[in-house]
Amino acid sequence: MIFDALVTAGGVPETGDSLYEFTQGKSKALIDVAGKPMVQWVLDALSEAKSVGKVVIVGLDESSGVTSKKPSAYVPNQGGMISNIRAGANKIKEINPKAEYTLIVSSDIPTITAAMVDWVADQVRPGEDDVVYNVIERSVMEARFPNSKRTFTKLKGIEVCGGDLTPAALNLILSDTGFWEKLAAARKNPLKQAALVGFDLLFLALIRALTLEDAARRASKNLNMRGRGVVCPYAELGMDVDKTHHLEIVRGDLERRAKH
């Protein structure tokens, strides 16, 4: 299955953010990482991925200087994550009216490779999945990036963090049910998050009695969509650059890659 990728590159660190000194009011996606803008590493991986057809970049324009070997289009920053994703999805539908899915890819996971993109794409069950959410086990994350200090969710028999490469159905993104707006409103509010997925589910997660499959199934029911959690073997999907020490980690990692 071929996906048109939607790259979210609209994040701009504000004064006080640890990454502000590297951006000075510009997009985080353009921070230099081992000689390239951070988003360029992501675009290079997408360019080599067999599962990617076209690329829509949201939050940048041609003046950014980033390039893609795949046919690409730019969409202006809409001012928020959800608005950017919906604008990107609309652009994909405009370019390819028959498109059913997209790969939502964050611009701040520069250590990903084409093989990882293709692995994620292969997990989608067309017509059955609305969203496939990738999680990475703590042991995998810490073996690959031992000082990343990610935040992990404790489930039954497993601790995981989320990946930032997500296949999603375009109909879900563009629906008028308010699904995405609910997620945006709950993003930094634990009580709203709990209300969305169910307080019983939150309680079971807290006592570690909830499996990944149970969490996905019950959240899907409460959010009225078909979501599935997949344990991903690639820590790179979870190595997003949120802090200065994350930037140092990916710079060192990609500098070593460039030498080999």
pLDDT surpassing 60 at residue 184:
no
Yes or no: say if 8 and 18 are a contact pair by the CB < 8 Å rule. Answer: no
What are the tens digits of pLDDT across the range 13-53?
777 777 867 777 788 999 999 999 999 999 999 999 999 99
What per-residue confidence (pLDDT) applies to 202? 53
What are the tens digits of pLDDT across the range 237-260?
999 998 999 999 999 999 998 777
pLDDT surpassing 70 at residue 192:
no
The burial class, CB within 10 Å (0-12 / 13-18 / 19+), for 117 is buried
Average pLDDT over residues 166-193: 69
Please give the single-letter amino acid code of residue 198. G
What per-residue confidence (pLDDT) applies to 226? 84
pLDDT band (50, 70, 90) for residue 225:
confident
Bridge partner residues of 33 (DSSP): 36
pLDDT surpassing 80 at residue 210:
no
Yes or no: say if 91 and 78 are a contact pair by the CB < 8 Å rule. Answer: no
For residue 221, give the H/E element and its range.
helix 212-223
Helix (H, G, I), strand (E, B) or coil at 215: helix
- Tokens of residue 29, six digits: 């996606």
**Which domains occur in the chain, in start order?**
3-135+162-173+226-259 (3.90.550.10)
What per-residue confidence (pLDDT) applies to 229? 86
What per-residue confidence (pLDDT) applies to 195? 54
pTM tops 0.95: no
Q: Quote the DSSP letter at residue 100.
A: -
Yes or no: say if 239 and 148 are a contact pair by the CB < 8 Å rule. Answer: yes
Strands (DSSP E) contained in the chain are: 3-8, 32-33, 36-37, 52-58, 72-75, 101-106, 131-137, 153-155, 158-162, 165-169, 227-231
pLDDT surpassing 70 at residue 4:
yes
Q: How far apart are CA 247 and CA 106, in angstroms?
A: 15
190-197 vs 179-186: helix crossing angle, rounded to 10: 140
What are the tens digits of pLDDT across the range 112-151?
999 999 999 999 999 899 999 889 999 999 999 998 988 8
More confidently predicted of 198 and 44: 44
Q: Which of 94-103, 147-156, 173-182, 243-252 has the lowest mean pLDDT?
A: 173-182
